[in-house]
Structure 1
Amino acid sequence: MSISADLLRAVNRDATVPDVLALAARHACRLLGTEFAAVFQVADGDRLVVGGSHGLSAQYVDLVNNAEPLTLSVRSFRTPSTSAVLGGHAIALSDALADPDSAQWADMAKMQGYRALLAAPMHGLGGVALGSITAYSRTVRDFTPEDVRLIELLAEHTAGALEAARRRDDQNVEADQLRLRSAQAAADGERRARLLRLHVELCDAVLASRGVAGIVEAVAEAVDGSAAMWDTGLRVSAWSSTGRGTDDREELLSRLRAAAEAAQTSPPTSTVGVLRAGSVGPPTWVAPIAVHDHVRGWLTVTGPGLDLLSSADPADITLPVALELQATQHQVEIEARIASDLLTELLADTAEIRAPMLHSRAEALGHDLRAPHFAALLTPTPTAAGRRPERIAQARDLSRLTTRLVHMSPRPLIGIMDGKLLALVPQRAAEPSGPTPVDTGDGAMLTLLTDAAAALYPDRRVHVLVRRDVLGVAAYRSTYLLLARAAELLTEHSPDLLDIGQFGLYGVMLDSGPGEALTDFARTLLEPLATSNASSRSALLATLENWLASGTSVHECSRRMYLHRNTVAYRLRKIEEMLSVDLSKPDDVLRIQLAMVVATVSGWLTAR
């Protein structure tokens, strides 16, 4: 009974099955006075493997378990252990080396150094064979009936302990699985609660008209990280961060933009989910935002709580953003119509009389007409040489353009004037360099305008005529007329961007006559220069342009061009001869300057 109690105590102490069986093997050696013992288990229904042993070498155990496995179904290879299991009774062998039936495994006995052995089967509930327990003696020995009774009793107790240990292990596994399922259920419950809170916050943001920025802020808080909304041009339109990470703003935006860019180039079926921006760095969740089946941008999120979004239906996150974008688009379209009407009235000849009312309406749209603006006239390349569609811009173009410029603040006043898109933008100085998502200087705003116009007319080049420092209600009409007159000179060879202010006083002279008349004037005057040989034309044109830009100073022109003043003087005399002008006369200089401005705008001179 003490052996049975010892085995059960081992089971209750959570000893492993091998440890319990090794304990049984030690008791076998003590009871029978043998040097070695092993407890075999039935494995895979057909093999006996050593589950625990005492005194046996690791080499012998490995030989029995792997190199020379004891297979119950192979009748040609029998050992006392397999015979005990198959026969259901104890097997005793007094001398393994003298028994002819043991010749097949005699080498194994010699390796371990035993001669006699006694094996008894182990049976579980219902008589199921569990294995056997075998004792080995170094010397030849005749085992007595008492020895057989003791090993059979030990086999019975060991079988009970083995089944108890297995039941305990099964119960522990079930308990671990139950704890795991409970923890998973608790985590799922917490995740659902967090998702519900996020959904409520997103709905509140929509109902409270907090805009896309409010939604992005709620998402960033939910994951305890950062979130950014990008338009289809991969410009950030809203951004928020809890500020708890170590990355700075510029690095975070760069990583989020990379994720949006990667998703933009991926197949539509794989654009929602978690991905890594590059080979290193934390994962980023990215999803497209679609309005009426058209992708309007990308939402990117990163942070410790990113698993929250991974387990959610993407529509629960993207739908509020899409609704807000749709509402914003509707608002933008309304503002665009109001702005277009205001711009039309600003360009009317009665604008000065109605200035106070126009100022008030402009202020409602975020514009101070008393501050400097720059005007930009956007016009596509002609569809045929010298011809342009009667109306290149329609109401839909105005709506599409204002939608693309929705993130400019304040948004420009944009209207359709004589089939051309005219934008009036508050003039700003460039801000100091720093990690800002969008540069708000005039250069950046002009870039946004040109990019938006290019996207509006993807099949044609878009020319942008600009005039800066437009101040006062009276100046808006005259500026538009000047830009419209300059637009009449445009050809397929004209530059994409022309700043009329760069031409100084001569730029104003573009309004001195119809476009065709100015073009004919420039062609007639400069034709001899334009038809000269290429090398001569290039040198003479460069000299003429630099001389005019130098205030008609030969010394300054030679310094600019790194030429001797005599070379410059010679080229100027050559130009006088070709064009039949006298560059010492102010009238001739004025004519040439105006012709050069017209040629620059139209691009016909450089196209030769």
Structure 2
Amino acid sequence: MAVLELLARQAPPGEYEDLLHRTRRSGALPDALERLDRAVRLARRVMSSAGRREQREAGLAALVDTARDLTFPYDVDGLMRIVTRRARGLIDLDLAYVSLCGPGGVSYLRTSEGAAGSLLTGMRLPDDRGIAGMAQAAGAPAWSADYLADERFRHDDALDEVIRAEGVRAVMAVPLRDGDASVGVLYGADRQVRHYTPDEIGLMSALGDLAAVAVVKAGLLDQTRAEVTELELDSSRTRSSLTRMRYVSEAHSRIMNLVLSGGDLCNVAKAAGDALDGTVLIRDPGGRALATGGELDGLDEEAVAKASLDAHAGRRPVVTGENTWVAPVIAGSEDLGVLVIRTATGLTEEDERLLELSAQSVAFLLLMRRSTAVAEGPVRDELLDDLLSETPHAPQQMTQRSRRLGIDLSAPHVLVVARPEGGEQGRAVVWASSYAYRMAGLKTVQGGCIVLLLPGADASAAARAVSDELTPLLGHPVSVGAAGPGRDADAVARMYQEAMRCLDALTALNGAGSAASVQDLGFLGLLLSDDHDVAGFVDSAIGPVLAYDAERFTELTRTLEAYFASGGSPTNAAEELHVHPNTVSRRLDRIGELLGADWQKPGRVLEVQLALRLQRTRDVLSRQRTTTPPERTGRDGGAG
């Protein structure tokens, strides 16, 4: 009865011991003492069972509270802080932490509770080693009473060092699983040796299951939030785009109303600048300013010229420099100029569309003001095509046609043929239209070459001018041949043939990328028009001499030129070369050994002399091409 009374009032264990001592001192019989001792043992078992039951009830209550907490819409980090806090309180742990699987299956420490500082958020944790590896492999909780001394699993040196720094001894790992997939691991740890009971392991396992479900739910919630945010951004961008499109439409309507009401270019430029929050400059095909909506200082003219070619070739606005755009002003295939704008900030996609519409409005206004000039574009090309054709035409009719276009064929004219050596032809054709307009000439395209009929009497100067301007703009070599002057319609076709022969001569002489006229090449232009194997001829005639000079740095070639220039006199050649006559004689003997004993016979002499002239001309063209500056500064030029 005494034991039952103690058990009923949940007396502490010490009172049971006191009862046994008092009974022994009272002289009780052995049978009575044995019965009392058995009763005490049974009472202790009842107390232990009740304690475990209370602990389970408390754990289950804590799990219910945890489940209730996890129903709230936490983010993943907030959720993990609740899980680790509950884990510590659930079975009285010193610390708890959670690792979650990141991209590529790598696990990172997401949060920790009770750590002294070694277990830092973001730390990488190996999930194929240590207690976590054992738990992941088994798909069930794993634990160790003394982690560092446990040899049942592979240890990780870096993780062991952190465990040692935290003073951890006992560790438990519970896998967080979503079906067959692992989303992370829940860890519990103590800083003394501890043998976890099955009830404690079961409570942690149940908490891990709840945490896994909550992690998946939180991930889905985060994903949903991100998708909602993206949808809100898309909706905002769509509303902004619609607003901007409405603004573009209204601005274009204002500009077109201004054009249709008879407004001038300055008003149109100002209206376009106000709509685009910038300063607009309208230029003609020659680069001259037609109108401006304000001051536009510090323009990089070379960059603008190059961007103008790109804009016309691509038929779209092109950015050049900082917040500076060039839009083509075109009508069909005719170049009417460019619209240059500089803004305070960059242009959006809608702004670019408004810029294109503004350029179209400017083109429409120019068409209204220059309808006759616009119609003349194809007519001018057709006129030059007719002048170049071999079909006979009435001179009086051609003269009248040219006068209607402002061209006086009775004045001196030169004809220039330019052939770009690479790249697209579109940019060169756009440039040719602008150049012919500036120079008051005509332009067309024949056989992949640009043909220009320009006023003037110096064909060489015209060829160099075309090369100097077109080469840096295109960024690759341009071969230019020229002929003239001519003073009537019939001379145009003749000059075209001569210019083409000059261009063929440049190619034959390895002078591609050079500029020359028929006068520059003399008789070579006619000589080489049918035979282009100049290199083979030179090599067969004086190739051994050229090779000898190149290998030994001698002057046999120069000696040959001086010898022929002096009429075949070694003495006079020596005076020109400023050497002793014996030196010239020895050099001539060496030349005889290289070319053969018959090199001074009349037939061979002519071949040698012609080869020398050809080689000299090729050297001149090569030096000209090498010394030609790669770029030219000026308002109409651009760096190649």
The normalised TM-score by structure 2 is 0.46
Larger radius of gyration: 2
Structure-1-length-normalised TM-score: 0.48
Q: Which has more helix, going by share of residues?
A: 2
